[in-house]
């Protein structure tokens, strides 16, 4: 399903106080591939530069995730519906890195059965290296209250991590 871009049926919606979100428009089984996280592949240095530029522009919703130790995916200006999947401290989805024809790609997979109409969410696994703390709005029981609070603390620029790897 990944190589053929056979995505689950999804629906974009406006959340209460958390911007855009993504709903399952069909039932999704545990472990199922949902959608690829697409965007522009850029260097880690460029990701840091863009992140700062987006912040200076007042852009609150930047969609940059870490691909590996030296590259990131920036889906801020172009990308798939996956960029609108919100964070949760108790997610029903997870990210996985896959190598497809020698190229690293990122997919969103379900961690559990997800009924039609449920909002999709994954743990962003942010690491912060300075700047303002970002309050977590997931509302889950046991919420960490801030994005990145469970990582190495608030020490600098943001980076999405925690992407599992596998081969196809």
Instruction: List, for residues 46-103, the tens digit of each pLDDT value.
Output: 988 988 888 888 887 778 888 777 888 899 988 999 999 999 999 999 999 888 888 8
Tokens of 87: 């964070």
CB atoms within 10 A of CB 23: 16
Q: DSSP character for 45?
A: H
- Residue 129 has what pLDDT? 53
Cα distances (angstroms) measured from residue 3 to each of 41, 131, 159: 18, 38, 27
Which residue(s) pair with 23 in the sheet?
A: 11, 119
Q: What angle do CA 108, 111, 100 make, to 5 degrees?
A: 35
Predicted structure pTM score: 0.80
Domains and CATH numbers, the chain: 10-167 (2.170.270.10)
> Which residues, 6 or more positions from 52, have their beta carbon under 8 angstroms from its beta carbon?
157
Query: DSSP E strands: which ranges in the chain?
Result: 10-14, 20-24, 33-37, 40-43, 64-66, 71-74, 86-87, 93-100, 103-110, 121-122, 126-129, 154-156, 159-160, 164-167
Residue 132 pLDDT > 80, yes or no?
Answer: no
* Top-confidence residue, 125 or 128: 125
Which residue(s) pair with 165 in the sheet?
A: 97
- Residue 166 has what pLDDT? 39
Average pLDDT estimate for 8-17:
95
Q: What is the largest CA-CA distance in the chain?
A: 41
């Amino acid at each position: 399903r990944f190589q053929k871009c056979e995505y689950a049926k999804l629906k974009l919606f406006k959340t209460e106080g958390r911007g855009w979100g993504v709903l399952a428009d069909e039932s999704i089984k545990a472990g199922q591939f949902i959608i690829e996280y697409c965007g522009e592949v850029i260097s880690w240095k460029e990701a840091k530069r863009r992140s700062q530029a987006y912040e200076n522009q007042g852009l609150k919703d930047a969609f940059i995730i870490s691909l590996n130790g030296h590259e990131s995916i920036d889906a801020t200006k172009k990308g798939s519906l996956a960029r609108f999947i919100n964070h949760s401290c108790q997610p029903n989805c997870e990210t996985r890195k896959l190598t497809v024809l020698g190229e690293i790609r990122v997919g969103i997979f379900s961690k559990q059965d997800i009924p039609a109409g449920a909002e999709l969410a994954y743990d962003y696994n942010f690491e912060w290296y300075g700047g303002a703390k970002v309050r977590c709005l997931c509302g889950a029981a046991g919420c960490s209250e801030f994005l990145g609070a469970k990582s190495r603390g608030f020490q600098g620029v943001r980076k999405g991590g925690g992407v599992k790897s596998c081969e196809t």
